[in-house]
Structure 1
Amino acid sequence: MPEILLDINNIVFDYNKGGRALDGVDFAVASGEFVALAGRNGSGKTTLTRLAMALLKPTSGSITLQGKNTSAMTPADMAHSIGYVFQNPDRQIFRDTVAKEVAYGPEQLKFTPEAVNEAVSKALSMTGLTEAADSFPRTLSRGQKQKVAIASAIAMQPKMLILDEPTSGQDPWEAQNLMELLVGLNKQGITIILVTHDMELIAEYTTRAVVLDKGCKVFDGTPAALFDGSQDIARWGLIPPAAVALSQQLNGINSTDAAELTGLVSRAINQRRENHA
């Protein structure tokens, strides 16, 4: 049975003047999962991830990381196990070369110089940034900057990555390239929590979806179950992927995958032609 890495138990969080942001949220993330955390703006997604990183402390409830309560832990403590990637990579980038940027985290964790070099080399290779090692990070594209932020996180050798809307502001090719990178990292054993409002990404890449609405967990299951038509996801501010929306309009045809849906529609059209020949 996979190890439970992060266990969020009945979390409540109140902002001093902003009311209740989270109300009794429960879910656990096991080693090797690729989880989407979804919900409309203001649903509590970012607050929950900030709690998971010990950037905030819960009003009540508990969070455990590999069985240890995080109430007394600092963000630096959490960084040994969880890498956090902000929506805007410019918030994380401040050094003058990609290699130096990626080296910052391991240096802060007191890696030896040899271990820092090894971690940087491996992280650059895993993210396809080896040739950009000496580049000035701020001259890179948005997608490349996001990869620098991911490389900086994985250089610290975390068991889990939390990414907040990592494809925001990217063109479709960069977004696909980044998602394929995350799939590859997941296959290498890194657990992924992807904060996103993009239902297409959830349907195509993730294996589990947790949906928040008004600070409460309202769904926890597979993307297929989220989009099979049994859930009124519009009430949570979600729009189904295009392939799902189309399949729901076609009698007897159902798929969350665009390529598969194309084949099903084509076969259905040909079958109907034969039936009426």
Structure 2
Amino acid sequence: MPEILLDINNIVFDYNKGGRALDGVDFAVASGEFVALAGRNGSGKTTLTRLAMALLKPTSGSITLQGKNTSAMTPADMAHSIGYVFQNPDRQIFRDTVAKEVAYGPEQLKFTPEAVNEAVSKALSMTGLTEAADSFPRTLSRGQKQKVAIASAIAMQPKMLILDEPTSGQDPWEAQNLMELLVGLNKQGITIILVTHDMELIAEYTTRAVVLDKGCKVFDGTPTALFDGSQDIAKWGLIPPAAVALSQQLNGINSTDAAELTGLVSRAINQRRENHA
């Protein structure tokens, strides 16, 4: 049975000035999963990821990483367990070459010089940035900057990556390229949590979706189950992928006919994934 890396146990988070951002959220992420954390703006996604990174403390409940309560973990412990990539890569890029940027984390974790060089070389290779090692990061495209941020995170050798809307601001080719990179990292053993409102990405690339709405977990299951018509996802502010919506229209399938639609959606999703295998 895969190891549980992240265990979110009945988390409640209240704002200092009143109001509840999260109300009893509870789920676990196992090693090797590729999970989408979805929901409309204000659903609690960002708050939950900040709690997972120990940047906030829950009002009640607990979060553990590899069996350790995050409230008792050092920054170094956190960095070895979990990496975070911001929606805007400019928020975390500040050194004058790509290689120096990727080296920063391992240096702060007191890797030996040899280990730093090895970690940087491996991270650049894994993200396809070896040829850009001496480039000034600010001159790169949005997609390349996002890869630099990902390389910087994986250089610290975490078990899991959380990425906040990583394809935001990218053209379709760059977005597809980035998602295929994440699929590749996942196949190499890195657990992925993708924070997104993009249902196309969920359908095409992830294996599980957790949906938040108004601070509560309202769905936890496969993309197929999310889009098979048995869930009224519109009430959560979600729009089904275009291929799914079109398939429903072309086949004239009643949304309550879950069994038939499940097969249709499964074939559509599997075909799209095979195109990127």
Using structure 2 for the length normalisation, give the TM-score. Answer: 0.91
Shift of 1:255: 13
Q: Is the 8 A contact 2:243 2:268 kept in 1?
A: no
Per the alignment, in what secondary structure is the counterpart of residue 8 of structure 1? strand
**Cα 1:76–1:14, aligned 2, differ >3 Å: closer, same or farther?**
farther
Does the alignment pair 1:269 with 2:273? no
Q: Is the 8 A contact 2:35 2:210 kept in 1?
A: yes
Does the alignment pair 1:38 with 2:38? yes
Q: Which whole-Å deviations, capped at 9, do the CAs of 1:175-194 have from their partners, x for residues lacking one?
A: 00000000000000000000
Q: Which whole-Å deviations, capped at 9, do the CAs of 1:136-161 have from their partners, x for residues lacking one?
A: 00000000000000000000000000
**Cα 1:216–1:260, aligned 2, differ >3 Å: closer, same or farther?**
closer
Identity over aligned pairs, percent: 99
Does the alignment pair 1:64 with 2:67? no
Cα-Cα RMSD: 6.2
Structure with larger Rg: 1
Q: Is the 8 A contact 1:253 1:265 kept in 2?
A: no
Shift of 1:73: 2.5
The farther-off stretch of 221-230 and 63-72 is 63-72
Shift of 1:251: 2.6
Q: Is the 8 A contact 2:225 2:262 kept in 1?
A: no
Measured in 2, the distance between the counterparts of 1:50 and 1:269 equals 31
Shift of 1:17: 1.7
Q: Is the 8 A contact 2:230 2:255 kept in 1?
A: no
Shift of 1:252: 6.7
Q: Which whole-Å deviations, capped at 9, do the CAs of 1:1-58 have from their partners, x for residues lacking one?
A: 0000000000000111251100000000000000000000000001000000000010
Measured in 1, the distance between the counterparts of 2:212 and 2:183 equals 23
Per the alignment, in what secondary structure is the counterpart of residue 7 of structure 1? strand
Q: Which whole-Å deviations, capped at 9, do the CAs of 1:165-214 have from their partners, x for residues lacking one?
A: 00000000000000000000000000000000000000000000000000
**Structure 1: which 5+ runs fail to align?**
none
For these two proteins, the number of residue pairs brought into alignment is 277
**Cα 1:260–1:231, aligned 2, differ >3 Å: closer, same or farther?**
closer
Q: Is the 8 A contact 2:224 2:262 kept in 1?
A: no
Measured in 1, the distance between the counterparts of 2:123 and 2:61 equals 35
Per the alignment, in what secondary structure is the counterpart of residue 48 of structure 1? helix
**Cα 1:26–1:133, aligned 2, differ >3 Å: closer, same or farther?**
same
Shift of 1:256: 17
**Cα 1:188–1:255, aligned 2, differ >3 Å: closer, same or farther?**
farther
Measured in 1, the distance between the counterparts of 2:272 and 2:5 equals 51
Shift of 1:77: 3.1
The farther-off stretch of 98-107 and 63-72 is 63-72
Q: Which whole-Å deviations, capped at 9, do the CAs of 1:66-96 have from their partners, x for residues lacking one?
A: 1111122344431111010000000000000
Q: Counterparts in 2 of 1:190-201, with a 5 A limit?
A: 190-201=190-201
